Structure 1
Amino acid sequence: MEACCCNLEVDVNGEETFMVDKTVITQYSNKFARLFGKSSGATGKLKVIFHDFPGGAEGFELMLKFCYNNGTADINPSNLFLARCAAEYMEMKEPMADVSNLLEQTEKSLQEISYWTWSDILIGLKQCQSLLVPDSSVMVERCLDTIVGRLVLASEASPCPSTSSTDSSWVRYSCDSKSTESVKTSFSRLTWWFEDLLFLSPLLVAMLVKSMLSRKMDHLVISKFLLYYQKAKFSTATTHEKCKIIEMVIDMHYDMDLSCVPCKTLFGILRVTLGLNISKCSRNKLETMIGSQLDQATLDNLLVPSPHGISYLYDVNLILRFLKAFLRRGNSLVTPIQMRKVASLIDLYIAEIAPDPCLKTSKFLALATAIPDSARDSYDELYHAMDMYLEVHTQLSQEERLKICCGLNFEKLSPQACLHLSQNKKFPSKSTVQALISQQSKLKNLLHVIPSTSSYNDSPCSSSGAAAQKGKKDKTSEQVVLYSGNFDLSTDNEKLKAHLQGMQWRVMELEKFCRKMQIQMAKITKSKASGHSYAKSLPKLCS
């Protein structure tokens, strides 16, 4: 019988060799029909070698069963995608005369995928992934879309919608806040599928997540799945595979709403990338995401060890990049409160890294000056960090010390910090003078707040007040002279000396004025006690 004539030898990917009837195969396959042409009736054995047949010997055997069974096959979820890929490869797209078309049969079966069970969908998806052929991408997308559709329906059916949380538990899924068991049960209803999808490759996970995002699935649940996937896969992955996994995790988080992704999560991803040579693009995405939420970070988050080969202890360049990403958002997106939080955080970080003997002056100063002046209400913390830095880096030149001090705004130093600075020999003498000038300027501003009246200047002082004035004058003079004695001034710096003497005189004059104010206040109080009233209210400074 002609159908039993095995006149064609087919080597499939070196796995197995099949002896088949050329005539039977040719009537169903345009690929074979084109290959043999009019020689289909020729006698003698022919041999065909396939190197990339989808599904290998299993796929070819499935195609053979279709051909030898008069164009019919038992198509089910376990072999649908294998049959479809084989049909694509063998060019069974157009009917050959009156014979059946395997591709059409698989398409009809694929249209019923919405009725498949969850297990059937996973089996089909595993088969698609193992085929690794371009033609399977459409089938993969249909499978993934079906999976996402099931998950969306499951989440909508949950009686308790997800609510975001800022604590370490990430999300609370429960209507009954009193029941821990209810929380676990509700949460498991939204995460039961995590384990089932661990077989997916990073490429398919990316396709899955994109479909989830387009269907508006909860970003917190998606993020948790990605981290669960990464942790589970890392246990057996090679270094190269780890890079691909974490790059996919970063890229998918970058497409999410960052308000739904805790800053702690992003820093956790950052820790995982340490020691991995991930792509520059993915690293930049991660740093941009962290930088945009820098106001939510803690000091522990920022203490990232330096890369291999860098002498200083912590990765200062990384923090500078975070700051750049944060400031890049602009004033329209960054509130003054967020800016102050970041400024406070950076001051703490600078104080933490200041004792590092390997930290370069340029890096220290870059951090100190990266934050706009308006973000700091006080420069005391930064001053103490500088003091610590100069304590450790004793080899710095006078010029380098002056550069560091350029990062200070003396107007925003507290009186206590100015006093400490004025006696601090580690700082250049120019800085100590600036500190005192700043305090003198503040005293002037204070003076302008007090309204000046002729009666105040003309009020006589009692003998006891004069004695107190003299005592206070001597004390003030002694204190200011003490400041000048602590300055390391060269003998030829007469201008600075004269400036300090002028400051001493102005401070004493201000104290005289304040004492006169006190006397006047006593008179006003006495007059009130006698029943007199004044139309003008007292300045707040005097109250």
Structure 2
Amino acid sequence: MKYMKLGTKPDTFYTEEATRSVLSDVPSDLIIQINNTKYLLHKFPLLLKCGLLQRLCSDSPSSSPASGASPSSPLILPDFPGGEAAFELCAKFCYNISITLSAHNFLPALSAASYLLMTDSISRPNFLPKLHTFFLSFILPNWKDSVVTLASSSSTSPPFSDPTIIRPLIDSIVSKILTPASQVTWSFTYSRRISNSSTPKDWWTEDIAELDLNHFRTIVSCLKSSGGLPPALIGEALHVYSVKNLPDPNGMVELRGKERRVLEAVASMIPIEDGAVSGGFLMRLLKIGILVGASTSVRAELVRRAGRQLDEVSVGDLVFYVREGVVDIGVVEAVVESFLEGFRRRRAVEKDERERMRRVAKVFDEYLGFVAGDREMTVEKFVELSTLLPEVAREEHDGLYRAIDTFLEEHQDLSKADKKRLCQMIDCRKLSPEARSQAIANDRLPLRTLVQLLFVEQERMAGTREFRGSPTAHQTVEGEDHRRRRAEEMTERGRPSTGKKGEGSGSKPEHKGRGEVDVEKKKKVEKRLG
């Protein structure tokens, strides 16, 4: 950070009963009021440097109090830019009292000096030219100073908007961002871990996250139009800015219009290229957009973009809370539908598309397991959710089985018909040996499903592959005559053992190899069948 010192005298301003005075042997002959603070000062040093005070004090005493005043009544300067602190910098410059300029107080001082007409045409040297020199020589060439100065423009009262200052600041920031990372020699803010000693490509993102939304948007627009940065870097800047300026969607209490403006602006700045931002970031924006009441068009675009990158999200990204403990599944349905629409448009037979679908199915089944624990979730809605994905999406049904088992555990008052409806979605052939072994011993599953599990396990043990399709449990038991007869035969045989060979558990030899059916589990199932 750069500084400039002006003046040589020590600071002799002091406060007494809400009045600021300067220590001097000469009595005060000028009272100036800024907001609620009065200043007891002297005409000679101030009028020598300030064109506005010259004009006001030369007016007739009979004019309005705001124009001129006698020594006993204050000269009121309403809406003084920068307030008392900025005025005091100007007053101290007039008294040749030492002051220090920096990026933090530059704009308030500039606003005040411009208001007071402290130009070289009034007196040479004057404050306004000194400030311009400081701006050109110290602020513009330096990264931190430029960012801090631009950030302070929105906090001054009123906000500073002079284009002769703001535009050069933006241009300076943009040019430094476009500088190759290997040539960056200035300091910057970067709280994330750097894997090596080289400058990270996104070194600039945290600093510009401190800017006002309008200035941030202008800079991003300039960077995008320049074509000098990859879309992913623009996306990273948007991510850092949103984390800084938007609250956690899972912990929001009081929402203001500011959040909506920031959300809609960030959403509009996302580069059109896929992968410019992550799928998780898109889902986060969508959550916040729903909570802050973003426009329908913004939410629809976020749903579309999130659907295109659904294979990148985690189960936590899919959880949308309407209020505490209440999950909104409608948004997830919309995102999944958007993903499927794009999947159907693309060549679904391509290997990478199949892999994307596999990742979506895995995460979606984890999400089903999460919502299955909701006591308010109905069978109809759970089945509707579970069947959103096409049959080809799931190469294995372990995740779906675990979700259904969670639903059965949390909804223990289900009818047999509802249990059957849920479990007929499981393709027993698509269960891993571990999941199938666990399911065989699961007391919550209906008998038909257990019979089918045993049949598939015995078929695997025997090394037979009579049917190589991917039928569901419902189809394999009821939809094919041959397998129905086998299942019914097993059901008839599944009575409690009488001790005779061939009854109850049958006369199959006991096996203990990997993936084989445990005899004790078989006996437990056969007991239930009886």
**Category of TM-score, reference length = shorter chain:** 0.5 to 0.7
CA distance in 1, matches of 2:277, 2:259: 18
1:320 to 333, 350, 362: 333
Matched with 1:185 is 197
Shift of the 362–204 alpha-carbon distance from structure 1 to 2, 3 Å rule, reads farther
Post-superposition offset of 1:331: 3.8
Matched with 1:55 is 82
Matched with 2:18 is none
CA distance in 2, matches of 1:363, 1:19: 78
Please give the root-mean-square deviation of Cα atoms over the aligned residues, in Å. 6.2
1:110-150 Cα distance to aligned partner (Å, 9 max, x none): 56678633454356346535424233364345324312312
Shift of the 234–303 alpha-carbon distance from structure 1 to 2, 3 Å rule, reads closer
CA distance in 2, matches of 1:348, 1:42: 76
Aligned pair 1:342/2:360, yes or no?
A: yes
Whether contact under 8 Å (1:250, 1:286) holds in the other structure is no
2:178 to 149, 152, 170: 152
Aligned pair 1:360/2:375, yes or no?
A: no
Shift of the 65–332 alpha-carbon distance from structure 1 to 2, 3 Å rule, reads farther
Post-superposition offset of 1:239: 7.5
Post-superposition offset of 1:195: 7.1
Shift of the 117–310 alpha-carbon distance from structure 1 to 2, 3 Å rule, reads closer
Whether contact under 8 Å (1:292, 1:329) holds in the other structure is yes
Whether contact under 8 Å (1:24, 1:68) holds in the other structure is no
> What are the ranges of 5 or more consecutive residues in structure 1 without an aligned counterpart?
160-169, 173-182, 444-475, 487-543
Matches within 5 A, 1:368-379: 368-372=386-390, 375=393
Matches within 5 A, 1:86-97: 86=112, 89=115, 92=117
Whether contact under 8 Å (2:57, 2:69) holds in the other structure is no
1:147-206 Cα distance to aligned partner (Å, 9 max, x none): 2312322426379xxxxxxxxxx999xxxxxxxxxx5112x3546556766765677656
1:206-226 Cα distance to aligned partner (Å, 9 max, x none): 655555445444555566567
**SS of structure 1 residue aligned to 2:364:** helix
The one-letter code of the counterpart of 2:308 is: S
CA distance in 2, matches of 1:293, 1:477: 42
CA distance in 2, matches of 1:123, 1:379: 55
CA distance in 1, matches of 2:89, 2:370: 67
Post-superposition offset of 1:364: 1.0
Shift of the 310–133 alpha-carbon distance from structure 1 to 2, 3 Å rule, reads same
**SS of structure 1 residue aligned to 2:177:** helix
The one-letter code of the counterpart of 2:161 is: S
The one-letter code of the counterpart of 1:479 is: R
**SS of structure 1 residue aligned to 2:367:** helix
The one-letter code of the counterpart of 2:270 is: M
CA distance in 2, matches of 1:36, 1:398: 97
CA distance in 2, matches of 1:119, 1:158: 13
Matched with 1:482 is 489
Q: TM-score, normalised by structure 2?
A: 0.53
Whether contact under 8 Å (2:311, 2:359) holds in the other structure is yes
Moved more, 244-253 or 135-144: 244-253
Whether contact under 8 Å (1:263, 1:290) holds in the other structure is yes
Matches within 5 A, 1:90-489: 92=117, 116-118=141-143, 120-121=145-146, 124-125=149-150, 127-136=152-161, 138=163, 139-155=165-181, 157=183, 184-186=196-198, 188=199, 190=201, 208-215=219-226, 216-218=228-230, 220-221=232-233, 248=262, 252=266, 255-257=269-271, 259-263=275-279, 279-281=292-294, 284=299, 290-299=306-315, 301=316, 304=319, 308-310=323-325, 316-317=329-330, 319-327=332-340, 329=342, 331-332=344-345, 336-337=353-354, 338-351=356-369, 353-354=371-372, 357-372=375-390, 375=393, 382=400, 385-386=403-404, 389-390=407-408, 393-397=411-415, 408=425, 414=429, 423-424=448-449, 435-440=476-481, 479=486, 481-482=488-489
The one-letter code of the counterpart of 2:156 is: L
Of Structure 1 and Structure 2, the greater helix share is in 1
CA distance in 1, matches of 2:68, 2:285: 67
Q: TM-score, normalised by structure 1?
A: 0.52
Whether contact under 8 Å (1:6, 1:20) holds in the other structure is yes
